[in-house]
Amino acid sequence: MTTVVIVGAGLGGLRAAESLRANGFVGEISVIGDEPHMPYNRPPLSKEALKSGLDMSTLEFRRKASVADVTWQLGSAVVACDLSARTITLADGSIVGFDALVAASGIRPRDFNIPGPRNGRHFLRAAADAHALREQLVPGARIVILGSGFIGCEVAATARQLGCEVDIVTLDPVPMYRPLGTILGAGMRAHHEEHGVRFHFGRSITEFTGHDRVTGAVLDDDSSLEADVVLEAVGSVPNTQWLAGNNIDLSDGILTDSSLRVVGSPAPFVAVGDVARYENALFPGVARRIEHWNLPTDTGKRAGATLATLLAGGQPDQTPFAPMPSFWSDQYHCKVQSFGVPGIADEIVIVGGEPSGECVAEYRRDGALVGVIGINSTSALVPYRTALMAG
């Protein structure tokens, strides 16, 4: 029987499995994941799960009946792959063969290996990370957060609500600088400062102090901060190391064509979710890797269709791939929502409201709309999304 192996048991892996079935693939599907959990929703890990505790039964995605016969091999990391021999190697040394492969291996937090004790320093990606961090976020605890992206800012908001002292150290001039830009970033800075978060902009951490566990951080201006707990949240790295040596483009994630087929692979091979880099027909000219929550679903559906067609001896749909990137973030009473790729804009125009309250901002590049972001303005974004879809 034909076997598809899916590396990664997150949202992208689940959607790829569902799509393989929806597109008529009746062979064996085996999903291999390094975490011990069935696919679950990660966004609550920086919010509700830190506040009220982890409940995996509410975080797990509902799975369609069509994937009831899929084999889930959880708690197994894939360490190597030979695309010519069509095998993968697991951490325990066992070798698994496949006829076709799906990379859904996602990303991991970037680790700068800053000197100092490790105990008391956290990253946040997996359920286990949230569980460990939650235990430290007791009222009065001092948390130093390195990085002012979504995760850093969401954890800051949650930690303030839990009664912790929060310092954010960031090289950027405003929080969420890359996706929001300076104007909305300044608005979100005001929200955080109103809630008592202290920012240290333009700064990095050179070392952590403490013996058995972290007690503080030294900044690059030689100032220091006391800390009971640290969160390092400065970007992420695509999990592609298991694919090394296969002569495919892994320069930033896995390069695919518009059908999500991995470029240069000798075996039928697609990539989905955070680890895939592809050209979006809505924002053409550059293959990008975008880490937004909705894209594992969009890429999983398309990639599953591609692979099912290939395995049935057909030619995959070559229609340009044009999913609408979208992100959201909840911090305090602020709901930040985006459509498009605001990060590539060269001009930002506030078209309504105030960045410190409700507002809508247009993001333009060479005069053309490339994204829109609203703060507490969901309904106002609808016509913009329509315009972005129309290209």
Partner 1 sequence: MSIKIDVDMTKCQHYGQCCFEAPTVFELDADGKLNVLTHEVDEDMREAVEAAADVCPMQAITLTDI
Contact between 297 and partner 1 (CB under 8 A)? yes
Q: Does 43 bind partner 1 (CB under 8 A)?
A: yes
Residue 299 interacts with partner 1 (CB under 8 A): yes or no: no
Q: According to CB under 8 A, which residues from 313 to 342 bind partner 1? A: 324, 326, 328, 330, 335, 337
**C-alpha distance across the termini of the chain, in Å:** 43
Looking at beta carbons only, is 60 or 252 nearer to partner 1? 60
- Nearer to partner 1 by Cβ, of 268 and 304: the residue is 304
Closer by beta carbon to partner 1, 66 or else 318: 66
- To partner 1, the closest distance from the beta carbon of 91 in angstroms equals 30
Burial class of 238 by CB neighbour count within 10 A (0 to 12, 13 to 18, 19+): buried
Within 10 angstroms of residue 204's Cβ, the number of other Cβ atoms is 17
Q: Which is nearer to partner 1, 64 or 364 (CB)?
A: 64
**Among positions 41, 89, 182, 236, the unique one binding partner 1 when judged by CB under 8 A:** 41
Q: Is residue 64 at the binding interface for partner 1, with CB under 8 A as the rule?
A: yes
221-to-155, 169, 203, 206, 225 alpha-carbon distances in Å: 25, 12, 7, 9, 12
Using rule CB under 8 A, residue 46 touches partner 1 = no
Which one, 247 or 378, has the nearer CB to partner 1?
378
Both tokens of 190, joined, read: 């005001």
Interaction between residue 385 and partner 1 (CB under 8 A): yes
The residue type found at 326 is: S
Contact call for residue 66 and partner 1 (CB under 8 A): no
Q: Give all strands (DSSP E) within 180-318, no chain letters.
A: 198-201, 205-209, 216-219, 224-226, 229-232, 236-238, 254-255, 269-271, 276-279, 287-288
CB 17 within 8 A of CB 307: no
Which of residues 62 and 211 has its CB atom nearest to partner 1 in the complex? Answer: 62
- Looking at the chain, the number of H-run helices and the number of E-run strands are 8, 26
Neighbours of 344 (CB within 10 A): 14
Site string for partner 1, 344-383 (x = CB under 8 A): ---------------------------------xxx--x-
Q: Which is nearer to partner 1, 167 or 274 (CB)?
A: 274
Give the CA-trace dihedral at 111, 115, 119, 120, to 10 degrees.
-70
| Chain residues in the site for partner 1 (CB under 8 A) | 15, 41, 43, 61-62, 64, 293-294, 297, 324, 326, 328, 330, 335, 337, 377-379, 382, 385
